[in-house]
């Protein structure tokens, strides 16, 4: 038997659109066609013999969805999503611990409710569990009229990361020379990570001069506080191993987990890293810092999880598209940004200090742990005119990890590349960062998916992919 | 030939229902049979046979039974029983068994998946795994039956459960003079297509609607008044069953439809002669 992706790519097939709308512990199941699971079809929390409410409006169908990347120095996927129109205010739903029943959408769904869209086949062909997940979104507003039509204006699932703020003065992993916040003047007590705990404190500096542990300061790792034994001469900074998130993935997870599920592993370097937030900022901005540091980009994947993926064009293709599947042929344009080399930093120094007065104290040699500066990685080039990009700041402790990142960026942006655009039936859900193969007039070429637009405007669910080749 | 008929006011819709079983989870209760939404289905629990008990508020005459989107295969049976004293009582007034009315030829390709369509011949000896294959089984009763207590038993060794969208037990509406020649049947396509560079059509398949264009050209004054009352009640949005050839056979199956009125119009042509034209458009 053929797989569902073969079925969905067929020329003459019935496709069923599903939407699971989740608000708290309630999940509504709606569809574009009548659809009932079999008694043998329990999936996750969903029981068997569950009828989907066929109330997705023909006028709406699958909302349009677009997600795309910029250059290697734009480390976030930007996304937009259209509206979902429903033609009834009640739908089959499941509340945790209760039997499925029809419930009122309007009194249940709130702003922020999550929606996962899937495309499948009639139950006679495939189970609901075989349906492909197309994308996830969140409800931004709910509108309607006296015809019982409900329009859900949607936002991307990533929006919550733009609307939510990080903690201020938070320390994750290994950081050098971070400025400390005075918590108690009388006790000369300073905060590192708010409320703690932290892992350890490697050094404390007074205006860049190293203090001695014990006689100069004490540390309470449980509360994340450092107490000095005497008034300092100037700004107090410290080398800290902060909150227990020691890799880029774990730091990103610590920042995003209150708002979104986070993929268990990222393909980013797993060497020791550290990140310091002197001020609160949108979580999305912090993720930008972390992703850029890895030569990666961040996105919320189709299942609604935060994920980092690499800028890399040498991966094995996960799908191949022949010209038979290209609904509108293909086009190509030359990509911008040809870099000659990539300078980079590691072991970031978080405090810029003025030179202290010269003195006999040998500890001055420890002044403000200097950042690691690696030699620029040179691009191979292909004869195209090039520019030198800005210096890449990484948050890795070791140079080796930063070197890997700089090298990868040069591989992507150091030679002239083309962006190919194809439109194909929506039979497999591609992700940004996937490597695909596509048939040109000169044979197959492989490239990195940097843009994905899903539409059903013509009635046929299709996806337009842009691949950096 | 039996005259065309309408199944309008359904006694089952105001009856008390009980089913021998209901699918686990309770998402498809037997009261779904009383819902005009065709997608609301009653599904039995596991097994090859199940029944629905129907108790009217008072005894009433029933001339016809109909079943919308029954999932039995061609070897299944529908047993209809009626009593005047109690369900399964001593005073039986009806006990008959009929086959379901299903399409006996394939509509789907078999190349995909693991569902019923994928592993066998559609509707020949396998059940409808879902309601994609729509059908109306219409069983005119030989004589009017007056009873308050009814049981309908569905049996089919090919099924793992039984399900039905609507059960009708009612007195059909028929007119003194049958519909005129020239009635038409058409399927209204709803699929959409997109053409590739190579000329291949990529189609998003959607079920087509059956539309029956009919005319009753010789209504009496009384019948015309009744039609107008019906139109006020049903408008163009309340579904009913209409059959050009009421019968439990392929001719009946292809001309019976769960539908709504479209463009219904009554014209008084002459004394005691009115025409009633409409299109019966299939409801999904």
Q: Beta strands of A192-257 (E only): which ranges? A: 200-206, 209-210, 217-220, 225-228, 236-241
Whether B196 has its CB under 8 Å from any CB of chain A: the answer is yes
- How far apart, in whole angstroms, are the C-alpha atoms of residue B249 and residue B74? 11
Q: Which of A48, A92, A124 sits opposite B116 (nearest CB)?
A: A124
CB atoms within 10 A of CB A356: 17
Does the pLDDT of residue A280 top 80, yes or no?
Answer: yes
Longest dimension (CA), chain B: 72
Residue-wise pLDDT tens digits, A78-134: 989 999 999 999 999 999 888 899 999 999 999 989 999 999 988 878 889 999 999
How much is the pLDDT for B106? 43
Instruction: Identify the CA nearest to A232 among candidates A281, A276, A185.
Output: A185
pLDDT interval class at B132 (50, 70, 90): very low
pLDDT interval class at A196 (50, 70, 90): confident
- How far apart, in whole angstroms, are the C-alpha atoms of residue B252 and residue B244? 7
Whether B201 has its CB under 8 Å from any CB of chain A: the answer is yes
Whether B206 has its CB under 8 Å from any CB of chain A: the answer is yes
Which range (A17-31, A327-341, A373-387) has the least confidence? A373-387
HEC states along A390-447? CCEECCECCHHHHHHHHHHHHHHHCCCCEEEEEEEECCCCCCCCCEEEEEECCEEEEE
Identify the three-state secondary structure at position B150.
Answer: strand
How much is the pLDDT for B133? 57
Whether B107 has its CB under 8 Å from any CB of chain A: the answer is no
How much is the pLDDT for B103? 59
The DSSP output letter for B214 is E
Cβ distance of A49 and B24 shorter than 8 Å? yes
Q: Which of B19, B23, B25 to mutate to test the interface with A (most CBs of A within 10 A)?
A: B25
Residue-wise pLDDT tens digits, B184-243: 999 998 888 877 766 777 888 888 889 999 999 999 999 999 999 999 999 999 999 999
Closest residue of chain B to A53, computed from CA coordinates:
B39
Q: Is the omega angle on the peptide bond into residue A197 within 30 degrees of 0, that is, cis?
A: yes
Residue B78 near residue B72, CB atoms below 8 Å: yes
Q: How far is A224 from chain B (nearest CA, A)?
A: 51
Identify the three-state secondary structure at position B227.
Answer: helix
**Paired tokens of B87:** 């369900």
- How far apart, in whole angstroms, are the C-alpha atoms of residue A85 and residue A299? 26
Q: How many CB pairs under 8 A join A and B?
A: 144
pLDDT: which is higher, B129 or A68: A68
- In what side-by-side order are the strands of the sheet with B273-282? B5-7, B240-243, B256-270, B273-282, B209-219, B184-188
Does the pLDDT of residue B116 top 60, yes or no?
Answer: no
Residue B50 near residue B19, CB atoms below 8 Å: yes
Q: What is the ipTM of this complex?
A: 0.84
Closest residue of chain A to B129, computed from CA coordinates:
A124
Q: Mean of the per-residue pLDDT values for chain A?
A: 88
How much is the pLDDT for A356? 54
Q: How far is A36 from chain B (nearest CA, A)?
A: 7
pLDDT interval class at A46 (50, 70, 90): confident
pTM for this prediction? 0.83
How much is the pLDDT for A354? 54
Hey, which residues does B277 pair with through a beta bridge?
B215, B265
pLDDT interval class at A327 (50, 70, 90): confident
**Paired tokens of A52:** 């989907």
Residue B52 near residue B152, CB atoms below 8 Å: yes
How much is the pLDDT for A360? 43
Q: Which of B202, B206, B237 to mutate to test the interface with A (most CBs of A within 10 A)?
A: B202
pLDDT interval class at B62 (50, 70, 90): very high
- How far apart, in whole angstroms, are the C-alpha atoms of residue A441 and residue A466? 17
Cβ distance of B198 and A34 shorter than 8 Å? no
Identify the three-state secondary structure at position B43.
Answer: strand
Helix, strand, coil percent values for chain A (each to nearest 5): 15, 40, 45
Q: What does chain A come to in residues? A: 469
pLDDT: which is higher, B199 or A433: A433
Closest residue of chain B to A47, computed from CA coordinates:
B25
Cβ distance of A125 and B117 shorter than 8 Å? yes
How much is the pLDDT for B117? 39
Residue B152 near residue B163, CB atoms below 8 Å: no
Residue B275 near residue B177, CB atoms below 8 Å: no
Instruction: Identify the CA nearest to B39 among candidates A276, A90, A394, A79.
Output: A90
What φ, ψ does residue B11 adopt, rounded to 5°? -65, -25
Whether B237 has its CB under 8 Å from any CB of chain A: the answer is no
Ramachandran category for residue A287: left, alpha or beta (phi over 0 → left; psi -120 to 50 → alpha) = alpha
Ramachandran category for residue B90: left, alpha or beta (phi over 0 → left; psi -120 to 50 → alpha) = alpha
Does the pLDDT of residue A315 top 80, yes or no?
Answer: no
Non-local CB neighbours of A296 within 8 Å, separated by 6+ positions: A75, A266, A267, A268, A308, A309, A310, A311
Cβ distance of B130 and A12 shorter than 8 Å? no
Which range (A249-253, A455-459, B108-112) has the least confidence? B108-112
How much is the pLDDT for B1? 56
Q: Is A270 exposed, middle or buried (0-12, 13-18, 19+ CB in 10 A)?
A: middle
Cβ distance of A11 and B200 shorter than 8 Å? yes
Q: What one-character-per-residue DSSP string does A167-193 give?
A: PSSEEEEEEEEEEPEEEETTTTEEESS
pLDDT interval class at B71 (50, 70, 90): confident
Q: Which of B115, B117, B204 sits opposite A460 (nearest CB)?
A: B204
What does DSSP say about strands A462-468 and A443-455: parallel, antiparallel, or unpaired? antiparallel
Q: Which of A41, A121, A125 to mutate to test the interface with B (most CBs of B within 10 A)?
A: A125
Q: How far is A68 from chain B (nearest CA, A)?
A: 25
- How far apart, in whole angstroms, are the C-alpha atoms of residue A214 and residue A212? 6
Whether B188 has its CB under 8 Å from any CB of chain A: the answer is no
- How far apart, in whole angstroms, are the C-alpha atoms of residue A366 and residue A205? 9
The DSSP output letter for B2 is P
Q: Mean of the per-residue pLDDT values for chain B?
A: 86
How much is the pLDDT for A351? 83
- How far apart, in whole angstroms, are the C-alpha atoms of residue A193 and residue A245? 12
Q: What one-character-per-residue DSSP string does A373-396 give?
A: EEEEEEP---SS--B--PPEE--B
**Paired tokens of A367:** 């002044």
Q: A-chain residues within 8 Å CB-CB of B284?
A: 34, 54
Residue A69 near residue A449, CB atoms below 8 Å: no
Instruction: Find how far residue B21's CA is from the centre of its chain.
Output: 22
Non-local CB neighbours of B109 within 8 Å, separated by 6+ positions: B117
Instruction: Find how far residue A384's CA is from the centre of its chain.
Output: 32
How much is the pLDDT for B76? 86
Whether B111 has its CB under 8 Å from any CB of chain A: the answer is yes
Q: Which of A39, A47, A324 sits opposite B198 (nearest CB)?
A: A324
Q: A-chain residues within 8 Å CB-CB of B26?
A: 99-101
Residue A327 near residue A462, CB atoms below 8 Å: yes
Does the pLDDT of residue A29 top 60, yes or no?
Answer: yes
Instruction: Find how far residue A259's CA is from the centre of its chain.
Output: 12
Cβ distance of B26 and A99 shorter than 8 Å? yes
Q: Which of A14, A31, A42, A49 to mutate to test the interface with B (most CBs of B within 10 A)?
A: A49
Instruction: Identify the CA nearest to A294 among candidates A318, A314, A278, A275.
Output: A275
Instruction: Find how far residue A400's CA is from the centre of its chain.
Output: 24
Q: What one-character-per-residue DSSP string does B160-207 give?
A: SS-EESEEEEE--B--SSPPPTT-EEEEE---EEEE-TTSPEEEE--P
Does the pLDDT of residue A363 top 80, yes or no?
Answer: no
- How far apart, in whole angstroms, are the C-alpha atoms of residue B235 and residue A32? 26
**Paired tokens of B137:** 């089984």
């Amino acid at each position: 038997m053929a797989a569902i992706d073969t079925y969905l790519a067929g020329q003459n097939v019935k496709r069923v659109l599903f939407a699971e709308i989740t608000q708290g512990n309630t999940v509504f199941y709606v569809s574009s066609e009548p659809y009932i699971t079999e008694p043998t079809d329990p999936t996750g929390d969903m029981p068997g013999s569950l009828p989907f409410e066929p109330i997705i409006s023909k006028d709406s169908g699958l909302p349009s969805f677009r997600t795309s990347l910029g250059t290697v120095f734009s480390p976030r996927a930007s996304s937009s999503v259209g509206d979902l129109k429903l033609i009834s205010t009640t739908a089959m739903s499941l509340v945790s611990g209760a039997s499925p029943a029809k419930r009122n959408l309007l009194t249940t769904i709130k702003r922020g409710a999550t929606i996962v869209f899937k495309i499948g086949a009639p139950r006679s062909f495939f189970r609901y569990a075989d349906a492909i997940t197309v994308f996830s979104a969140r409800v931004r507003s709910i509108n309607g009229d006296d015809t019982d039509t409900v329009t859900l204006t949607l936002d991307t699932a990533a929006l919550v990361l733009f609307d939510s703020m990080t903690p201020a003065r938070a320390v994750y992993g290994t950081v050098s020379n971070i400025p400390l916040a005075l918590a108690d003047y009388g006790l000369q007590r300073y905060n590192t990570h708010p409320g703690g705990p932290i892992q350890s404190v490697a050094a404390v500096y007074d205006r860049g001069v190293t203090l001695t542990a014990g006689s100069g300061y004490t540390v309470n790792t449980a509360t994340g506080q450092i107490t000095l034994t005497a008034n300092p001469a100037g700004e107090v900074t410290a080398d800290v191993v902060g909150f227990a998130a020691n890799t880029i993935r774990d730091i990103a997870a610590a920042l995003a987990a209150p708002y979104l599920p986070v993929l268990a592993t990222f393909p980013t370097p797993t060497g020791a890293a550290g990140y310091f937030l002197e001020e609160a900022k949108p979580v999305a901005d912090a993720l930008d810092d972390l992703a850029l540091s890895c030569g990666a980009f961040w996105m919320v994947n189709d299942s609604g999880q935060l994920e980092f993926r690499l800028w890399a064009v040498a991966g094995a293709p996960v799908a191949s598209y022949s010209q038979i599947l290209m609904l509108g042929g293909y086009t190509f344009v030359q990509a911008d940004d040809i870099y000659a080399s990539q300078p980079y930093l590691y072991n970031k120094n978080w405090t810029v200090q003025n030179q202290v007065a010269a003195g006999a104290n040998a500890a001055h040699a420890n002044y403000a742990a200097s950042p690691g500066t690696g030699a620029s990685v040179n691009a191979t080039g292909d004869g195209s005119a090039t520019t030198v990009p800005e210096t890449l700041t990484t948050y890795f402790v070791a140079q080796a990890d930063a070197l890997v990142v700089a090298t990868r960026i040069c591989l992507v942006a150091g030679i002239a590349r083309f962006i190919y655009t194809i439109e194909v039936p929506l039979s497999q859900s591609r992700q940004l960062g996937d490597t695909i193969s596509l048939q040109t007039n000169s044979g197959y070429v492989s490239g990195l998916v940097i843009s994905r637009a899903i539409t059903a405007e013509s009635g046929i669910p299709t996806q337009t992919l842009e691949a950096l080749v | 030939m039996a005259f065309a008929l309408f199944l309008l006011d359904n006694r089952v819709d105001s009856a008390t229902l009980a089913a021998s079983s209901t699918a686990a989870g309770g998402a498809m209760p037997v009261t779904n049979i009383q819902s005009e939404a065709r997608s609301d289905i009653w599904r039995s629990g596991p097994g090859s046979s199940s029944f629905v008990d129907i108790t009217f508020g008072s005894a009433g005459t029933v001339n016809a039974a109909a079943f919308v989107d029954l999932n039995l295969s061609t070897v299944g049976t529908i047993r209809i029983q009626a009593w005047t004293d109690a369900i399964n009582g001593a005073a039986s007034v009806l006990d008959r068994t009929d086959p379901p009315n299903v399409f006996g030829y394939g509509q789907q390709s078999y190349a995909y998946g693991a569902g019923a369509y994928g592993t066998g011949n559609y509707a020949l000896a396998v059940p409808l795994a879902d309601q994609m294959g729509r059908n109306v089984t219409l069983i005119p009763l030989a004589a009017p039956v007056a009873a308050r207590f009814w049981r309908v038993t569905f049996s089919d060794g090919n099924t793992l459960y039984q399900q039905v969208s609507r059960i009708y037990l009612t007195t059909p509406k028929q007119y003194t003079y049958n519909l005129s020649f020239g009635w038409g049947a058409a399927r209204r396509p709803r699929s959409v297509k997109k053409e590739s560079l190579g000329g291949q059509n990529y189609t998003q398949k959607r079920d087509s609607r059956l539309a029956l264009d009919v005319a009753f050209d010789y209504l009496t004054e009384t019948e015309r008044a009744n039609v107008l009352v019906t139109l006020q009640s049903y408008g163009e949005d309340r579904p009913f069953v209409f059959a050009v050839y009421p019968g439990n056979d392929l001719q009946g199956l292809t001309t019976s439809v769960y539908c709504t009125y479209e463009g219904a119009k009554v014209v008084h042509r002459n004394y005691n002669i009115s025409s009633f034209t409409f299109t019966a458009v299939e409801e999904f």
